Structure 1
């Protein structure tokens, strides 16, 4: 399956992009918003990396590792989504005032 390596590379590139954007930003709220976006792509990277490794090896051990990776990636994505929504609302309320 060629789609998993593509998603892995794109999510890793976007993770690094948002981490570099954090360094460039001076606003703390904007930095928190960018960090939450980076967490989403880190979770995507971890999850798809685990799935890809299981499809490559297909052993019982790789299944256990995949379950752990998907679980940790889902936690990162869920936390990132919650923070993106929160900080997006904070940025909108700041722009309105």
Structure 2
């Protein structure tokens, strides 16, 4: 199971990259919100992959309950980030056209 730790590291790196990129964008709120929504996608993927890894390692009832909660929270972050990325992506295209 090498794929899950790779996903964990990559999603955490992408989350941190997007958060730092928000600081560099300056005064443009539309680009900041768009970048923050991409960070939410990475955070959701991170939460889901960490919770799956916890369950694979421990395989107890407590780990199962924690995994279920984190999958729900991570999935909500991922879905919200995806929807806002699509919305603000269209707004950026219209503004740049």
TM-score normalised to structure 1 length = 0.98
Q: Partner of 2:10 in structure 1?
A: 10
Q: How does 1:1-97 map to 2 (within 5 A)?
A: 1-26=1-26, 27-96=28-97
Which digits, 9 at most, give the CA deviation of each residue in 1:7-26, with x for residues without a partner?
00000000000000000002
Query: How many residue pairs end up in the alignment?
Result: 96
What per-residue deviation string (whole Å, max 9, x for no partner) do you get for residues 62-88 of structure 1?
000000000000000000000000000
5+ residue gaps, structure 2: none
| Structure 1 runs, 4 residues or longer, greater than 2 Å off | none
Unaligned runs of at least 5 residues, structure 1: none
Matches of 1:86 and 1:42 in 2, distance apart?
19
Over aligned residues, Cα RMSD in angstroms? 0.4
Task: Give the 3-state SS of the residue equivalent to 1:36 in structure 2.
Answer: helix
TM-score scaled by length of structure 2 = 0.98
